[in-house]
C-alpha cells in the first residue's frame, strides 16, 4: 500500500525537451554512469532556438522515451504503462509543464510512486508547483533563495538544496593574455537568448557603456527563442559596430576564452552555470543580484553584483579593471580559486545521487483523502 516503501528502483526523468549541454541532462547521464537505471522522457522533439541533445547513449539502451503522442487525455495511461514496464519507483519532474497535471493523475493510480520536482528559480514551474506541490514527496533546488521560498510551504513536500557545480578540470583558465593598460576590455554575454536571461538588457548596457567608452567591445554567445529579436536590436543599435553576436558556441570554453568579463543581466535566475564556468576559467563576472546569483558571487573576489540598469556603476567597475591591471590579474586568479573551492561538479553529482537514493529509500507520500 501507499505507506510502505516500494522496492522499485527505476528512475524516470520527465523533460519537456532535451537541450545540449543542459545541467539536468548531464546529471541524468552521470547517474546512468554511476549504475542507476534512469529513463529519460520528453514530449517535445524540438524547441525553437535550441540545439537538441539526441541522447543516443540513452536511446541505445532503450532508456529514451518519446512522449509526444501522449499529449491529450491519454498521458496518464502511457505513464502508468511505462512505470509498470520499467519498475519505476521515482519520477523526477524536470521543467515539464505538461507533467504537472499528468503526474497528479498518475499518483492517484500509483500511490506507491515518489514524485520529486526540480525548481531552479521562481518562474513558471515554481507557480505550477504551488498548485501541484501536495502530490510531491520533495523538491530539489539549487539556491538558498529557493529554499527560503519553499521551505515549510503548504505543499508539505521536503525541500533539499543541491548546489550546482561545473567540471573544474575542463573549465580552466585559457591563458588569455592580460590586456595592456589602456587597451579596452571585451565584455561578454554567454547564455540562453530568453526573456529571463535578459539579453536585450545586455545590449542596452552595452549601448550605455559604449557611449562612455567607445573602445569597449561586446560579444554575445548563445541561442534561443529571442535570437532573432536580439540580432535585430543590435542591427538597429548605435553601438552596433561594438557588439558582435556570435550565436551558438560549440563549447562554453570557446566563448569564455574570448572575453575578459562575463556580464549576467538576468531578471530571473537560479544558479547559472555560466557564472561558475566563467570563474573556473578565471573570468570575473558582473551579474544582476537576482535569484541565487548573490550566493555565487564573492564581491571583489570572483566578480561584482550590479543591476544591469545601473550603467554608471557598471562603467565604474569596468574602468577600475581597465585601469588597474594588477588588480584585474588578482581578480582573475581569485575567481579561479573560488570556483575550485565551491563549484566542483563532483560534489554536485554526489549530492544529486544522495537525494535520489534517499527519495527511493523513503516510503512514498500517501495519497490524501478528506478524513
Comparison of 68 and 183: residue with beta carbon closer to other proteins: 68
Comparison of 74 and 169: residue with beta carbon closer to other proteins: 74
Element (DSSP H or E) covering residue 280: helix 273-280
Q: In whole angstroms, give the CA distance from residue 75 to residue 61.
A: 23
Closest Cα to residue 240, out of 264, 266, 217, 257? 217
Comparison of 1 and 177: residue with beta carbon closer to other proteins: 1
CB of 111 to other proteins, least distance (A): 9
Cα dist from 237 to 199, 240, 248, whole Å: 14, 5, 21
Q: Which residues contribute to the site for other proteins (CB under 8 A)?
A: 1, 68-69, 71-75, 101, 104-105, 107-109, 131-135, 367-371
Burial group, residue 229, by CB count within 10 angstroms (0-12, 13-18, 19+): middle
CB of 328 to other proteins, least distance (A): 52
> How does 245-283 read in b/e, with b if 16+ C-beta sit within 10 Å?
beeebeebbebbebbbbbbbbbebbbbbbbbbbbbbbbb
Q: In whole angstroms, give the CA distance from residue 200 to residue 274.
A: 17
Comparison of 220 and 364: residue with beta carbon closer to other proteins: 364
92: β partners: 13, 116
Comparison of 89 and 133: residue with beta carbon closer to other proteins: 133
CB of 100 to other proteins, least distance (A): 8
Comparison of 153 and 247: residue with beta carbon closer to other proteins: 153
* Residues sharing a CB contact under 8 Å with residue 159, sequence separation 6 or more, in sequence order: 138, 139, 141, 146, 147, 150, 151, 153
Kindly state the cell numbers that stand for 334.
581569485
Q: In whole angstroms, give the CA distance from residue 196 to residue 216.
A: 25
CB of 321 to other proteins, least distance (A): 50
CB of 34 to other proteins, least distance (A): 32
Contact assessment for residue 91 and residue 113, using Cβ atoms and an 8 Å cutoff: yes
Comparison of 51 and 68: residue with beta carbon closer to other proteins: 68
CB of 29 to other proteins, least distance (A): 29
Cα dist from 213 to 83, 185, 206, 318, 319, whole Å: 59, 10, 10, 10, 9
CB of 308 to other proteins, least distance (A): 37
Kindly state the cell numbers that stand for 102.
499528468
Kindly state the cell numbers that stand for 171.
573549465
Q: In whole angstroms, give the CA distance from residue 56 to residue 66.
A: 13
Comparison of 80 and 229: residue with beta carbon closer to other proteins: 80
CB of 90 to other proteins, least distance (A): 18
Cα dist from 268 to 126, 259, 300, 316, whole Å: 12, 23, 23, 24
Comparison of 7 and 371: residue with beta carbon closer to other proteins: 371
Polymer length in residues for the chain: 371
Amino acid at each position: 500500500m501507499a505507506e510502505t516503501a516500494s522496492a522499485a528502483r527505476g528512475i524516470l526523468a520527465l523533460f519537456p525537451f532535451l537541450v545540449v549541454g543542459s545541467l539536468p541532462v548531464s546529471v541524468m547521464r552521470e547517474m546512468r554512469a554511476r549504475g542507476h537505471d534512469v529513463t529519460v522522457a520528453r514530449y517535445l522533439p524540438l524547441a525553437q532556438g535550441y540545439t537538441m541533445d539526441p541522447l543516443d547513449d540513452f536511446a541505445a539502451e532503450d532508456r529514451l522515451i518519446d512522449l509526444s503522442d501522449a499529449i491529450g487525455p491519454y498521458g496518464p495511461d502511457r505513464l502508468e504503462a511505462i512505470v509498470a514496464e520499467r519498475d519505476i519507483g521515482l519520477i523526477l519532474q524536470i521543467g515539464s509543464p505538461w507533467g504537472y497535471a499528468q503526474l497528479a493523475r498518475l499518483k492517484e493510480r500509483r500511490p506507491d510512486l515518489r514524485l520529486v520536482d526540480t525548481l531552479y528559480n521562481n518562474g513558471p514551474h515554481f507557480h505550477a508547483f504551488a498548485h501541484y506541490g501536495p502530490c510531491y514527496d520533495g523538491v530539489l533546488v539549487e539556491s538558498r533563495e529557493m529554499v527560503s521560498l519553499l521551505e515549510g510551504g503548504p505543499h508539505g513536500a521536503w525541500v533539499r538544496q543541491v548546489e550546482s557545480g561545473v567540471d573544474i578540470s575542463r573549465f580552466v583558465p585559457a591563458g588569455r593574455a592580460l590586456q595592456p593598460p589602456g587597451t579596452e576590455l571585451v565584455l561578454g554575454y554567454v547564455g540562453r537568448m530568453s526573456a529571463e536571461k535578459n539579453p536585450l538588457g545586455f545590449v542596452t548596457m552595452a549601448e550605455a557603456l559604449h557611449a562612455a567608452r567607445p573602445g569597449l567591445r561586446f560579444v554575445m554567445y548563445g541561442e534561443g527563442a529571442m535570437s532573432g529579436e536580439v540580432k535585430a536590436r543590435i542591427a538597429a543599435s548605435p553601438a552596433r559596430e561594438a557588439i558582435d553576436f556570435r550565436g551558438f558556441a560549440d563549447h562554453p570554453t570557446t566563448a569564455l576564452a574570448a572575453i575578459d568579463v562575463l556580464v549576467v543581466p538576468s531578471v530571473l535566475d537560479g544558479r547559472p552555470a555560466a557564472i561558475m564556468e566563467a570563474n573556473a576559467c578565471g573570468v570575473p563576472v558582473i551579474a544582476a543580484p537576482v535569484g541565487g546569483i548573490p550566493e555565487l558571487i564573492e564581491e571583489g573576489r570572483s566578480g561584482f553584483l550590479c543591476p544591469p540598469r545601473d550603467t554608471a556603476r557598471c562603467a565604474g567597475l569596468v574602468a577600475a579593471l581597465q585601469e588597474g591591471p594588477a588588480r584585474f590579474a588578482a581578480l582573475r586568479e581569485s575567481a579561479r580559486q573560488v570556483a575550485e573551492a565551491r563549484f566542483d561538479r563532483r560534489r554536485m553529482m554526489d549530492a544529486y545521487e544522495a537525494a535520489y537514493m534517499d527519495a527511493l529509500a523513503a516510503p512514498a507520500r500517501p495519497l490524501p483523502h478528506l478524513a
